[in-house]
Amino acid sequence: MARPGQNLHVKFFVLVALYLIIMAVEAQLITSLEEVLAYKIMVQWVAFTRAWNDACKASSATLNVAGGKTFLVNNIYFQGPCQPGFTFQKIRAAGSAHGTIDPPENPSSWKSTYVWWLFEHLQQFTLTGKGTIDGKGNYADESGKLNKTCKKRAIQFNDVKGSALSGLKVRNSPQFHVTLTNCDSVQIVGITIQAPESSPNTDGIDTFQSTNIVIKDSTIGTGDDCVGIGDGSSNININDITCGPGHGISIGSLGRGNTKAYVHSIHVNGAKLTLTTNGLRIKTWPVIESGAFSARRSERERQVDCGGGLPPPHGLILLSPVLSSWLVFLFMVSLSVLSLCCIYFLGVFRSLFLVRSALGL
């Protein structure tokens, strides 16, 4: 017959084992919610990239993104060269809302880059359609301070020629919304860009090292420049845009760290500016004494460093939390089972000991 103290010890160990099992299940349920979101982002990223790669090879192809849905994707690197006449189109399903394409909630989780959507090395390419690309705001970096060296960009065209961006609504980028670098003969027509008036460094459209750019029939209201024209920009035509709130249309800033900057042939016609802090302005850095700027880098160098190199996320990166949480779950369950086994065998050995003692063996 078991003693009361023995029963108490057995019950205690059983309760501990059950508690460990319950904690393991609870932890698994909590992490599963995050894993489902991570898995959804990964699956939709894979779908976008596979569709891009297939359409990129075809002549005059159109890649349609369905309307009426919300897509969650992390940084995407849409790289050419592709066949000429390629169109990436956000469509609206009949009777449905336009739909949105969203990044992860916190821009600090953008993977190893400052660009969310990068389109690179393309000719005769069109990004168009209805619907919204929402950068989800959060107007600061992970340290809580604005990153003034490498500004996050929702959409960037790099080395894109003879192409167009039209129709889309881009809103709430953490910083820059649309950026053109090393582009030639690109038209931006009929787009809408929105961010809160209080959001810093949320430029609407910025150009760097680009020429023959047309920006027209668009509405831009942000917390910074509606259009910013950076070093190396030439033949920029801004026609019939509505600007405000924001800082107006800006050339520069130019000459940071005593570097030479070249901008010419900037034309603005028919622009309507409302509630802007400036109309059209030119921003330059003051000349500083020789030697004081040796450690400074040019605007072009900073932009190249910040915009280059978008490594594609790998499934293993997103799957590793899943594997880790399952390993923790299995470990805790195994520990609980091991505890129960130990309790059982201890009870058996104790019973045998009591029997042997009673028999005088």
**Helical spans, DSSP H, in 77-159:** none
Any residues with CB less than 8 A from the CB of 82 and at least 6 apart, and which?
55, 56, 57, 61, 122, 125
Structure token digits, residue 139 = 């107007």
Decide: 161 and 123 in contact? Cβ < 8 Å. yes
**Active site includes 247?**
yes
Phi, psi dihedral angles at 56 (to 5 degrees):
-60, -30
The enclosing H or E element of 220 equals: strand 219-221
Give the active site residue among 134, 159, 224, 225.
224
State how far the Cα of 152 lies from the Cα of 140, in Å rounded to an integer: 9
What is residue 259's three-state secondary structure?
Answer: coil
State how far the Cα of 322 lies from the Cα of 316, in Å rounded to an integer: 10
- The per-residue b/e assignment along 311-344, b for 16 or more CB within 10 angstroms, e otherwise, is eebeeeebeeebeebeeebeebbeebeebbeebe
Q: Where are the beta strands (DSSP E) in 141-203?
A: 153-166, 169-171, 176-181, 184-189, 192-194
| Residue carrying structure tokens 């500016």 | 273
State how far the Cα of 154 lies from the Cα of 103, in Å rounded to an integer: 9
Phi, psi dihedral angles at 184 (to 5 degrees):
-140, 130
Decide: 157 and 180 in contact? Cβ < 8 Å. yes
Give the active site residue among 141, 159, 231, 247.
247
**Active site includes 206?**
no
Residues annotated as catalytic (active site), given as ranges: 224, 247
